[in-house]
Amino acid sequence: MAKYNDRISKKEKTLPNAPNGGNRENYIRISKTTLKYIIGVCCLFILLIVGTVIHYRQIFNTVSVEKTELETLRKNNDAQALQIEKLGKATVKLQADMERLNSLDVELRRIVNNEDTTTTSRAGLMRPSVKYIAQGEQKIQLDINDMNNVIYNLQMAVKAREESLVELKQELLMKQARLASKPSIWPTAGEVTSRFGWRNSPTGGGSDFHPGIDIAIDIGTPIVATADGVVVQSEWAGGYGNMVQIDHGNGIATLYGHTSQVLVHNGQIIKKGQVIAYSGNTGYSTGPHVHYEVRVNDTAVNPTSFLN
Ligand SMILES: [Zn+2]
């Protein structure tokens, strides 16, 4: 009886016209063509989605790269701005240094020329248009044009300062030469026994004009040139005995008489303070001494007027 019921139940499931209560499954009939269309549409839809995703991913990557590049550029720009600001500060400091050099130049000229003038100094320092903006600490804003102007002005100022210093060096050299050729030191250290001018003649009989000064020293004492110059006479010269004469230029000459030994020769270049002879008692002399004489344009003048 159970087998019979089971068989009946299977038959009812396969009956096409069986009522709903007897068959619980639904069937939809789709033609093969329709199925192909559906599959095709689905494939296109999937391709569209995949394409869209790839496209947006590319756009995202591009934007990401551009953002990174922009960030790098911004950092570089900040770093360059910082460098420009540092350069600006250094440039302003250079201007200050240059102004100090200018003041020093003026001061040196005042000392060298012993005058209260600045006309000979090539001041010529042009002030660049540097902008200062107070923002807590002093901030210097310079654009490229400002920087170019500042650098150009500094170049001009350095050139002017160099010319001025070269000029000053020439002036100093000339002054040094004038000082060196001025017989401003003593030829030896000793007691002055006879001064420049009229005196009672040491050889007896009336008075005579003494054209120099006599300095009493032991025989063999070194005698030095009192200025730079050239030896023009180094020989026996009558009453002067063994004599040395030095030409110092500008019409100035010095003579050293009564020496025991001459150490230089004609034409020899002599420096101030150089030993040129040893003292003696030669020529018309009443005792060991050096006769020191200064001539200006061949006229004897008082040597003490040159001595320091
Ligand atoms: Zn004398």
To the nearest 10 degrees (0 to 180), the angle between helices 32-113 and 144-180 is: 20
**Token representation of residue 56:** 């947006």
CA of 112 to the centre of ligand 1 (A): 37
Q: How far apart are CA 35 and CA 29, in angstroms?
A: 10
What HEC string does 176-222 produce? HHHHHCCCCCCCCCCEEEECCEEEECCCCCCEEEECEEEEECCCCCE
Q: What are the pLDDT digits (tens) for 75-99? A: 999 988 888 878 877 887 888 888 8
Is the separation of the CB atoms in 192 and 204 below 8 Å?
Answer: no
Give the distance, in angstroms, between the CA of residue 42 and the centroid of all CA atoms in the same chain: 81
CA of 225 to the centre of ligand 1 (A): 17
Helix residue spans in 114-199 (DSSP H): 144-180
Closest of 141, 87, 64, 58 to residue 72, by C-alpha = 64
Confidence (pLDDT) at 290? 98
CA of 212 to the centre of ligand 1 (A): 6
Confidence band for 140, pLDDT divided at 50, 70 and 90? low
Predicted confidence (pLDDT) at residue 113 exceeds the cutoff of 90: no
Q: Provide mean pLDDT across the span 163-175.
A: 87
**Token representation of residue 268:** 């020899």
Which H helix or E strand runs over 256?
strand 252-262
CA of 291 to the centre of ligand 1 (A): 4
CA of 258 to the centre of ligand 1 (A): 9
pTM, to two decimals: 0.56
CA of 266 to the centre of ligand 1 (A): 22
Buried b (16+ CB within 10 A) or exposed e, 46-75: eeeeeeeeeeeeeeeeeeeeeeeeeeeeee
Position 201, amino acid = S
**Token representation of residue 183:** 């017989």
Confidence (pLDDT) at 14? 46
